[in-house]
Structures are given as C-alpha cells and as structure tokens.
Amino acid sequence: MVIGEYAAADAEEIRRIAADCRPAAAVETWVRDDGKGCVMICGQAAAGAQTVKQVDLLFTGGEYGARGGDWLFYAGLWTPQDFRDEFLAWYRLEHLPILLECPTWNGCRFVEQKVAEGCQFHALHQVMDKATLDCDARKRSRSTPWFLRLAKQPWFDDAFTRILCRRAPP
C-alpha cells in the first residue's frame, strides 16, 4: 500500500493524478480540508507526488475504504523502537476499540512505514463527519491510565502529525 501526498487541490487535476495511480480502480482520493493538496491511497503512486510513503498494513478495525466515512483523519505517529510493542498494543487493544464505540467513527487502517530510526506509523481513520473528532469516545480514549502513561513521553501526542481530508468527488 502507498500513501501519496500531492499539491493538487483542483478536482480535474486530482482526477488526472488518480488515473495514473495503480491499480486505478482501487485508488482512494482525499482532499485536504486545509486546501493544501490531496492524499491518495493506492498500490502504486502516480508521478508528481510531494511525498510517497510505502506502508505495510498492521491491523484494521471497523469500516474503511469505499465502505467507510467521507472524512479521513490521517495521523502520523512516530515512536522510539523501545516503545513499539507497547504503543501498538495500546492503539490496537484500547485506543481504537474506544474510538469505534462512537457510531460515526467508522473505522481505521493502521500501517507502518519503514524508517531509518524508530517506528513510523500512520493511522488512516475514517469518520462520517468532522464533528466526530470531538466525540465523547475520543475524549475518553485520551484520558485512560494507559494513554496518560504514554503521554509522559516527550515523543508522544504533541509530536504526531494530523491531516483532515474529505473524500474527493468522483
């Protein structure tokens, strides 16, 4: 799986780029809510990407892809190698299940990108609307003892990247 980030925000240009991704039938196209381009999830990125991230799927939950919501909450999560197992366990066993208790939090794909140092993960959450990001389940998932223990680490939470996107029109 590849995550490609492009500067294109115009619908026509996004469609042209998506047509060059492979396999073309399986391309997911998302327009950044901040107007700074788009994100495409596919098997092979098209030329012209600002960033291409080759990732491996680690786990999923709920509904995602074409069956998931029309909003993508794309989070980049870096951890030191020493915290890999604990972080993955927290995300998979506690954080994601709590998020999925919210009826408008559809699902997530959790992937890993090989990097030279530490561990780089990406959470590809799909939600029905952007108001879902303020749901009680998310607040609860960020107040558990496990979360609070991890939050004491300097690399945790504030250093993570977050991009909100909406599904691009066909």
**Given the structure tokens 């995550």, which residue do they identify?**
3
Helix (H, G, I), strand (E, B) or coil at 24: helix
The string of pLDDT tens digits covering residues 111-169 is 999 999 999 999 999 999 999 999 999 999 999 999 999 999 999 988 899 999 999 98
Coil/strand/helix, residue 18 = helix
Q: Positive or negative, the Cα torsion across 140, 144, 146, 150?
A: positive
Element (H, E) at 88: helix 84-90
What is the structure's pLDDT at 159? 83
pLDDT at 22 over 90: no
pLDDT at 119: 97
The identity of residue 1, as a single letter, is M
What are 70-120's pLDDT values in tens digits? 999 999 999 999 999 999 999 999 999 999 999 999 999 999 999 999 999
Distance CA 167, CA 170 (A): 9
Residue 113 sits in which domain range? 2-167
Please tell me the total count of domains within the chain. 1
Q: 141 with 133: CB under 8 angstroms?
A: no
Looking at residue 46, the DSSP 8-state letter turns out to be P
Copy the structure tokens of residue 105: 């939090």
The CATH number assigned to the domain holding 22 equals 3.30.70.100
